[in-house]
């Protein structure tokens, strides 16, 4: 397939995004304190997690209808529509829970980059001690459950790793590009999250993740697709100090990021090897792009 890059048209951006943007200010501190003093971190994580899951289902449905119903073959138009939906959801979450979480900030950066790359980069630099750059996206260094409940105005209360200055919650990550045709690609991510429970005890969860991206305006950005990993796709983790092996598969679903998180573990683990592959399809205004294949990995 011929490689294409697509230039953004600024005309489509002003109305849909400008009205919904809520800035990351200190105004959220009082409200977020009030909300979270009445419930545990895990309880709040469940509420925010459900909100995010419901929003993802709604956005996926709207995007599918738009992508299949449009007449022009234009990935830029589709990407603008999708990123606009995601940004509005980011600000809706912020308004609903009365604070800006670290995960919410990372999401804003990832979906703002298509519209204002400079502002997205400035936000990343401002919070770079708490964020890391993945292949094409920005992710919190904290584990997911902590990242969705931690107010960015309270990040200074989290202890850092003294050797790096980073606030570590993701202790080991391996990642790369699995398949690409120059316009559409799939990334893989395998790693270990470090958690603390409500009474402060440390535990770990292994995870596998697939990402779907499109090439728009000279950069790769998140773009939803149907991701169907092979039944024998897996990642293997080695339990340091205990000599045990855990195997974790990859989830099949529709979206731009599909993550599978394993069970609670009391020991540190690290990725050791895996087989990653499957069939992946996305729609660009009625035309289907398909990627298929598998690779073996040793880490």
pLDDT at 39: 65
Tokens 């993802």: give the residue: 56
Q: What is the mean pLDDT of residues 263-270?
A: 90
Candidate from 27-31, 174-178, 286-290 with smallest mean pLDDT: 27-31
Tokens 């995960």: give the residue: 103
pLDDT at 24: 45
Distance CA 70, CA 139 (A): 32
Distance CA 92, CA 149 (A): 15
Q: Does residue 98 register a pLDDT over 60?
A: yes
Where do the domains of the chain lie?
11-156+166-298
Closest C-alpha to 73, from 279, 254, 298, 286: 286
Q: What is the pLDDT of residues 194-210, one digit of tens each?
A: 888 777 788 999 999 99
Residue 61 token pair: 């449905």
- Please report, rounded to a whole number, the percentage of residues in the chain having pLDDT higher than 90: 68
Q: Say how many CA atoms lie within 13 Å of 71 toward its Cβ.
A: 0
Q: What is the pLDDT of residues 112-125, one digit of tens each?
A: 999 999 999 999 99
pLDDT at 5: 38
Closest C-alpha to 147, from 165, 119, 168, 126: 168
pLDDT at 31: 53
pLDDT at 269: 92
């Amino acid at each position: 397939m011929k490689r294409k890059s697509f230039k953004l048209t600024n005309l489509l951006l002003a109305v849909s995004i400008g009205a919904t943007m809520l800035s990351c200010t200190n105004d959220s501190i009082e409200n977020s304190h009030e909300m979270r003093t009445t419930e545990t971190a895990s309880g709040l994580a469940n509420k925010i997690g459900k909100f995010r899951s419901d929003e993802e289902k709604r956005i996926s449905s709207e995007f599918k209808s738009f992508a299949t119903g449009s007449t022009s073959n234009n990935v830029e138009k589709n990407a603008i529509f999708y990123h606009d939906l995601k940004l509005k959801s980011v600000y809706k979450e912020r308004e609903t829970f009365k604070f800006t979480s670290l995960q919410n900030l990372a999401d804003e950066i990832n979906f703002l980059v298509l519209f204002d790359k400079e502002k997205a980069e400035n936000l990343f630099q401002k919070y770079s001690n708490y964020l890391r750059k993945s292949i094409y996206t920005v992710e919190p260094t904290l584990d997911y459950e902590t990242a969705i409940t931690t107010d960015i105005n309270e990040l200074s209360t989290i202890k850092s790793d003294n050797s790096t200055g980073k606030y570590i919650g993701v202790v080991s990550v391996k990642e790369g590009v699995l398949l690409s045709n120059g316009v559409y690609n799939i990334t893989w991510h395998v790693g270990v999250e470090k958690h603390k429970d409500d009474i402060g005890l440390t535990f770990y969860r292994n995870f596998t993740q697939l990402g779907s991206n499109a090439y728009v305006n000279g950069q790769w950005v998140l773009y939803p697709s149907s991701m169907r990993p092979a039944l024998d796709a897996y990642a293997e983790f080695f339990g340091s100090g205990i000599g045990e092996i855990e195997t974790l598969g990859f989830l099949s679903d529709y979206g731009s990021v599909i993550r599978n998180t394993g069970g609670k573990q009391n020991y540190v683990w690290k990725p050791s090897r895996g087989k990653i592959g499957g069939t992946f399809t996305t729609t660009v205004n009625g035309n289907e792009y398909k990627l298929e294949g598998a690779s073996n990995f040793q880490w």
